[in-house]
Amino acid sequence: MVPVSTSQTAPIAFLKGHGTENDFVIVPDPDNDLDLPPRAVAALCDRRAGIGGDGLLHVVRSAAHPEARAVAGEAEWFMDYRNADGSVAEMCGNGVRVFARYLRRAGHVTAGDLAVATRGGVKRVHIPKDEDGDITVHMGRAALPDTEVTVSVGDRSWPARNVNMGNPHAVAFVADLADAGDLRTEPAVTPAAVYPHGVNAEFVVDRGPRHVAMRVHERGSGETRSCGTGACAVAVAAARRDGTDPAVTGSPVTYTVDLPGGRLVITEHPDGSVEMTGPAIIVAEGHFDPARLETAFA
Ligand SMILES: N[C@@H](CCC[C@H](N)C(=O)O)C(=O)O
């Protein structure tokens, strides 16, 4: 392994991309040669001293990564997702679309259906022939444990729905998106024991029939302009609230979810599977000077 540390001498190839302005540093590393400790990820994601991003997509062949080797026969590529603070996460809905866009652009895969390994399981992704076309991800089933949770910002609190999309979410319906405040401070979600590894908190308002808008505070990243797993969690929570749960009605239901950075369309099917469609854009590529990692670590 090549340590990404003060002794790292080789430039680190990267790309920058986003999905509805949830932005990522993409680090292609097919053979898993780079060692990416949390502080190196945080340095790369730093918006002033680094490249800047809400998270990092470490692109590795599944066969080369201990966490994905077992599914290498099913999914050739593993999305080793890291939050901006360097912590690992199970899944990233916007990230997996950008990951697929990168694989296509690099010529590793063709348009069509692709399986991507994530810590939240193997996800099926559809890449259209149109190079700029929206990408659809089959996100799997949401889990909705019947636990009552509360989200608080300052002295205001809301009951919230506990939804797991591979990663944990608390979805609160509020009167106004401004109720969430500036979200510079992490909202309190209680009881804390429900989320031993932290939680992403969504604040949601109605915009019309099966049309909502949301803001999100992401675990490990702070407020972001979009969260794909969060939008899916919001859509399934809204379907339960609205009495449109597909498992009950027998019909798929589609919600349009507006986020500060764009729009995602989420469909839940009667078997509980959730599908998300949205954009994925690569905006730049280059090399990161490893000496700047030293500066970031100083
Ligand atoms: N922005 C992502 C979610 C990234 C992971 C999240 N912060 C977590 O820690 O669970 C998305 O688009 O889903």
Domain ranges for the chain, please list them: 2-134+281-297, 149-276
User: Which ipTM was obtained for this model?
Assistant: 0.98
- The pLDDT tens digits for 80-99 are 999 999 999 999 999 999 99
pLDDT band at 7 (very low <50, low <70, confident <90, very high): low
Q: Going by C-beta distance under 8 Å and a sequence separation of 6 or more, which residues neighbour residue 144?
A: 161, 162, 163, 164, 236, 237, 240
For domain 2-134+281-297, is the CATH number 1.20.59.20? no
pLDDT band at 294 (very low <50, low <70, confident <90, very high): low
Structure confidence at residue 113 (pLDDT): 98
- Give the C-alpha separation, 245 to 270, whole Å: 8
- Give the C-alpha separation, 286 to 6, whole Å: 20
In the chain, what percentage of residues exceed pLDDT 70? 96
Q: Do domains 2-134+281-297 and 149-276 have the same CATH topology?
A: yes
pLDDT band at 298 (very low <50, low <70, confident <90, very high): very low
Does the beta carbon of 23 lie inside 6 Å of ligand 1?
A: no
- Which CATH number among 3.10.20.30, 3.40.50.300, 3.20.20.140, 3.10.310.10 corresponds to the domain 149-276? 3.10.310.10
Does the beta carbon of 164 lie inside 6 Å of ligand 1?
A: no
pTM comes to 0.96
Does the beta carbon of 219 lie inside 6 Å of ligand 1?
A: yes
| Residue 45 falls in the annotated catalytic set | no
Tell me: pLDDT of 292 over 90: no
- State the distance from the centre of ligand 1 to the C-alpha of 253, rounded, in angstroms: 23
- Give the C-alpha separation, 82 to 88, whole Å: 4
Q: At what angle do helices 228-242 and 93-105 cross, to 10 degrees?
A: 130
Q: Are 231 and 258 in contact (CB under 8 A)?
A: no
pLDDT band at 6 (very low <50, low <70, confident <90, very high): very low
| Residue 232 falls in the annotated catalytic set | no
- The pLDDT tens digits for 195-210 are 999 999 999 999 999 9
Retrieve residue 15's tokens.
Answer: 């790309």
- State the distance from the centre of ligand 1 to the C-alpha of 54, rounded, in angstroms: 9
- The pLDDT tens digits for 121-154 are 999 999 999 999 999 999 999 999 999 999 999 9
- 34, 59, 227, 238: the catalytic one is 227
